[in-house]
Chain A
Amino acid sequence: MSWCVLDEENFRRCCRLLLQQSEQLRDGWSWEAVQGSEEGYLKKTALRSVIVDSSPVWDHEGSASDSEPHTSCHSWPDQQGQEEKQAGLVLVDADSIKGGIEDEEDGEEDEDDGVCAVSEGSSQVLQYEYHILHSCSYSTPVLYFRAFTQDGRSLSLEEVWSSVHPNFRLRLQNSPLNTITLQEHPLLGQPFFMLHPCRTEEFMRPVLQAAQDQHRSVNYVLSWLSVVGPVVGLDVPLKYATQLHPAASLSSTESD
Chain B
Amino acid sequence: MADDKDVLRDVWFGRIPTCFILNQDEVTEREAEPYYLLLPRVSYLTLVTDKVKKHFHKVVRTDDVEEMWLEYEGTPLKWHYPIGVLFDLHASNTVLPWSITVHFKNFPDRDLLHCPSNSVIEAHFMSSIKEADALKHKSQVVNDMQKKDHKQLWMGLQNDKFDQFWAMNRKLMEYPTEEGGFRYIPFRIYQTMSDRPFIQKLFRPVSPEGNMHTLGDLLKEMCPAALPNDGEQKRYQVVIHGIEPLLETPLQWLSEHLSHPDNFLHICVTPVPSD
Contacts and interface: CB of A to CB of B under 8 A. Distances in A.
Given A82-B116, A136-B200, A198-B130, A184 B122 contact: no
Contact of B202 (A136, A176, A190): A136
A182 interface: yes
A45 interface: no
Contacts of B139: 198
Nearest to A201: B139
Given A80-B117, A191-B109, 19 more contacts: A79-B119, A81-B119, A81-B120, A82-B116, A137-B131, A137-B134, A156-B114, A157-B114, A176-B123, A181-B123, A183-B113, A184-B197, A186-B197, A186-B198, A189-B196, A189-B197, A190-B110, A191-B113, A196-B127
Interface of B: 78, 80, 109-114, 116-117, 119-120, 122-123, 127, 130-131, 134-135, 139, 186, 195-198, 200-202
A190 B37 CA distance: 29
A196 B124 CA distance: 12
Contacts of A182: 113-114
Contacts of A184: 78, 80, 113, 197
Contact of A82 (B109, B117, B127): B117
Nearest to B78: A184
Contacts of B122: 79
B137 to A, nearest CB: 12
Interface string A140-165: 00000000000000101100000000
Nearest to A138: B134
A78 B114 contact: no
Interface string A112-151: 0000000000000000000000001110000000000000
The 7 closest A-B pairs by CB, nearest first: A81-B117, A189-B197, A81-B116, A79-B123, A79-B119, A137-B131, A137-B134
Contacts of B110: 154, 190-191
Contacts of B114: 156-157, 182, 191
A241 interface: no
A34 B116 contact: no
Interface in A31-56: 34-35
A187 interface: yes
Interface residues of A, number: 28
B65 to A, nearest CB: 14
Contacts, number: 65
A80 B116 contact: yes
A187 B123 contact: no
Nearest to B121: A79
16 contacts: A34-B196, A79-B119, A79-B120, A80-B120, A81-B120, A137-B134, A137-B135, A137-B200, A157-B114, A184-B78, A184-B113, A184-B197, A189-B195, A189-B196, A191-B111, A198-B130
A159 to B, nearest CB: 12
A198 B130 CA distance: 9
A55 B30 CA distance: 37
Nearest to A194: B127
B119 A154 contact: no
B131 A154 contact: no
A79 B9 CA distance: 30
Contacts of A156: 114
A81 B109 CA distance: 18
Contacts of A81: 116-117, 119-120
Contact of A186 (B109, B116, B117, B200): B200
A37 to B, nearest CB: 10
A137 B185 CA distance: 10
A107 B114 CA distance: 36
A23 to B, nearest CB: 27
Contacts of B197: 184-189
